[in-house]
Amino acid sequence: MTHPSPDQMVLADDWSNLARFKTPPEIDQDRLRAYRMGRIKQGLKRHDVALCLLTNPISMRYAVDYNTYLQFQSHIPSSYLVVPQDGPVVMYNAYGPPPGADEVRPGRALAHFDAGDELADQARLLADDIVNYLAEIGSDNRRVALEYVNPSLTQALLQRGLEVLDGVMIAEDARVIKSEDEVECIRWAIAVAELGIAKMKEALRPGVTELQLWALLNYTNLANAGAWHDGRMLASGDRINPWLQEASAREIQSGDLVGFDTDMIGPNGYFADISRTFHCGPALPTKRQKQLYRYALDEIEHNLKLIKPGISFTELQRRAYPIPEEFQDNAYPCIVHGVGMCDEYPKIDPIHRRINVYDGQVEAGMVLCIESYMGAVGERDGVKLEQQVLVTEDGYEMLSTYPLEAGLLE
């Protein structure tokens, strides 16, 4: 079988636009935004706060579909959003008007990049803006919530007589239960990711580099109006164990295992989080490689059977697949986690690491990822698998559909 090189695939690209081969979902964007804003406002009322100031780029996209310079915003917060219980939703320092905001206004400097040594002065001015905004909307509620932001702003708001709460609880709790529109967005993001995965598989041959393979996934995402990947999680050969090593210039060799985790913020801002492990021929898989693959698949299949509404995180952790001792030191950091516009609440740890620091329960409408990594300390090989599912009223629906590696299942 002839394997095209990644550069040949890009130069002869008649494949990357998924909409040419598969009909995209018809998303009612107004309904989608209304649902997400409604979830945030429910949180404001539940915590009895007048407003929440959001700076996390994921939160701003969720709230008002702000989608400009989000990676820049993640380390140099320049834009921010004020969402009140009642009143106009106002975006400050926006690069272009976000669809879901009522107004865009000039704002203050939040980052050292913009404010230098004047951060404290800027914080005091922003605190004045918040007080004035509360007067503008006629609110006598003195409780406000802040997402990740400089301590100087918290101090300035306290000095103005406001009570400051943690806005992360409001912003992230809102994202836990997905609407039908959100699920359709996730399905499309997964379809894009799986197109990229198929092209990675097609290009896999001895001599191709890890980075070249990863580039095909990234290219596919961008070609379909996707955003970015939270990591370049692809490793092969003697780099696949331990896990969590990002793609390198290493040339893949015959007989290598090649594992990856998409971690992909795709079209519409929704996440496709799928892991597979390939085998590179023409050498045949070893008995140990097949054994590792079976262990990983057994963990995934065991834990999938536990996914249903009402099961507590504590019970899920307690009843999860018992990871064999030889694999515990290198086991993946969690066995289950939520997903939406990124990795989200909840995160459930393997029980041999620690008892989960919080409890809760699985609910219909959550989207979860079921994780496994099997690789013994000191060994060369390891296997990473992950499936993405929607929690339904009576169990779960598999969202990730890319096939497992037949040669490793023999």
Q: Domain range spanning residue 289?
A: 180-409
Tell me: do 210 and 276 sit in the same domain. Answer: yes
CATH number, domain of 194, equals 3.90.230.10
Q: Is residue 29 included in any domain, yes or no?
A: no
Tell me: do 369 and 251 sit in the same domain. Answer: yes
Span 19-48, pLDDT tens digits: 999 999 999 999 999 999 999 999 999 999
Q: Decide if pLDDT at 303 tops 90.
A: yes
Q: Is residue 326 included in any domain, yes or no?
A: yes
- Domain end, chosen from 126, 141, 174, is at 174
Question: CB neighbours (10 Å) of residue 157?
Answer: 24
- Domain end, chosen from 122, 147, 174, is at 174
| Residue 83: half-sphere exposure toward Cβ, Cα within 13 Å | 27
Tell me: do 357 and 378 sit in the same domain. Answer: yes
Tell me: do 106 and 222 sit in the same domain. Answer: no
The angle subtended at Cα 377 by Cα 373 and Cα 380, nearest 5°, is: 80
Cα–Cα distance list, 341 to 95, 171, 226, 396 (Å):
21, 12, 12, 19
Residue 165, SS3? strand
- Quick one: pLDDT at residue 1? 57
For 136, which DSSP code? H
Q: Is residue 77 included in any domain, yes or no?
A: yes
pTM: 0.96
Span 90-131, pLDDT tens digits: 999 999 889 999 999 999 999 999 999 999 999 999 999 999
Q: Tokens 């894009």 identify what position? A: 192
Q: Tokens 């949180």 identify what position? A: 43
Tell me: do 334 and 188 sit in the same domain. Answer: yes
Query: Which pLDDT band holds residue 196 (cuts at 50, 70, 90)?
Result: very high
Tell me: do 144 and 194 sit in the same domain. Answer: no
Q: Is residue 371 included in any domain, yes or no?
A: yes
- Quick one: pLDDT at residue 265? 98
| Residues whose CB falls within 8 Å of the CB of residue 407, separated by 6 or more in sequence, listed in order | 279, 281, 284, 285
Q: Is residue 100 included in any domain, yes or no?
A: yes
Tell me: do 345 and 399 sit in the same domain. Answer: yes
Supply the DSSP string of 337-362, one letter for each residue. EEESSSEEEEEE--TTT---S---B-
Tell me: do 203 and 224 sit in the same domain. Answer: yes
Tell me: do 113 and 146 sit in the same domain. Answer: yes
Q: Decide if pLDDT at 367 tops 60.
A: yes
Tell me: do 286 and 301 sit in the same domain. Answer: yes
Task: Pick the more confident residue, 3 or 294.
Answer: 294
Tell me: do 166 and 232 sit in the same domain. Answer: no
Q: Domain total for the chain?
A: 2
Tell me: do 215 and 106 sit in the same domain. Answer: no
Q: Decide if pLDDT at 234 tops 80.
A: yes
- Domain end, chosen from 174, 189, 209, is at 174
